[in-house]
Amino acid sequence: MTTRGNLFIVSAPSGAGKSSLIAALLADKPADMQVSVSHTTRQPRPGEVDGQHYHFVSVEQFKQLIAEQAFFEWAEVFGNYYGTSRTVIEQTLAQGIDVFLDIDWQGAQQIKQQMPEAIGVFILPPSRDELQRRLTGRGQDSDEVIAGRMAKAVSEMSHYHEYDFIIVNDDFAQAQADLLAIIRSQRLTQASQTITHSDMLKGLLAE
Ligand code: 5GP
């Protein structure tokens, strides 16, 4: 059986629950799904592990990787550089493993230009009030900080229509089921099934 994995681009504003949804999807370490680990120039947050959450690099190292054309896409997001390694994605897809890119709208546009068959999924919060609640966190941040987060979220959300699928994360279990349904449906397209079941089809259609 030969196959090729699908490439999923998952974008969302901060507070929509994207990281939790991806983490839940991969919690049982499914053999046929993998999340791409990006390079970034931002500082690690407490608990973040180099090579697991991100490859943390300096601005010089990042620019060197750009020069070497190591990135499938890269972008400056809120003052830091982020990029997706090209070879890891290609090798993983070639092994029949679905790859998930947790990237912003700028990266999504670059991927779609190079690989139109990549599947864009955008996750939205159910309302502005709920987003505000989620971004307010534990009440430790100033109104100004929260207003800044809201403005960034609204700017990211304005790109929702550039994606193939939209998930509204009101109920987490429902959002999880929706994401799984999208993944499953992509494995069942005629193009995917023709590759996955090429031998079976030869047998079925033999004269
Ligand atoms: P954070 O710093 O909070 O982990 O991520 C900030 C934003 O950068 C998020 O919207 C995230 O999806 C995006 N991001 C993370 N990695 C990449 C990447 O490799 N490329 C692009 N274009 N955006 C990324």
ipTM of the complex: 0.99
Q: Is the CB of 82 under 6 A from ligand 1?
A: yes
Instruction: Give the model's pLDDT for residue 67.
Output: 98
pLDDT at 2 over 70: no
Which atom of ligand 1 lies nearest, measured to the CA of 14? Answer: 10
Q: Does position 59 have pLDDT exceeding 60, yes or no?
A: yes
User: Per-residue pLDDT for 116 more than 50?
Assistant: yes
Average pLDDT over residues 175-198: 94
pLDDT tens, residue by residue, 77-111: 989 999 999 999 999 999 999 999 999 999 999 99
Q: What is the 3-state secondary structure (H, E, C) of the chain?
A: CCCCCCEEEEECCCCCCHHHHHHHHCCCCCCCEEECCCEECCCCCCCCCECCCEEECCHHHHHHHHHCCCEEEEEEECCEEEEEEHHHHHHHHHCCCEEEEECCHHHHHHHHHHCCCCEEEEEECCCHHHHHHHHHCCCCCCHHHHHHHHHHHHHHHCCHHHCCEEEECCCHHHHHHHHHHHHHHHHCCHHHHHHHCHHHHHHHHCC
Q: Is the CB of 22 under 6 A from ligand 1?
A: no
Pocket test for ligand 1, best of 73, 82, 101, 110 (most atoms within 8 A of CB): 82
What are 15-36's pLDDT values in tens digits? 999 999 999 999 999 999 999 9
Query: What's the gap in Å between 102 CA and the centre of ligand 1?
Result: 6
Q: Which residues are known binding-site members for ATP?
A: 12-19
pLDDT in tens, 122-155: 999 999 999 999 999 767 788 898 999 999 999 9
Q: What is the pLDDT of residue 195?
A: 87
Domains of the chain in start order, with CATH, are 7-36+98-205 (3.40.50.300)
Instruction: State the distance from the centre of ligand 1 to the C-alpha of 138, rounded, in angstroms.
Output: 23
15 lines ligand 1 (CB under 6 A): no
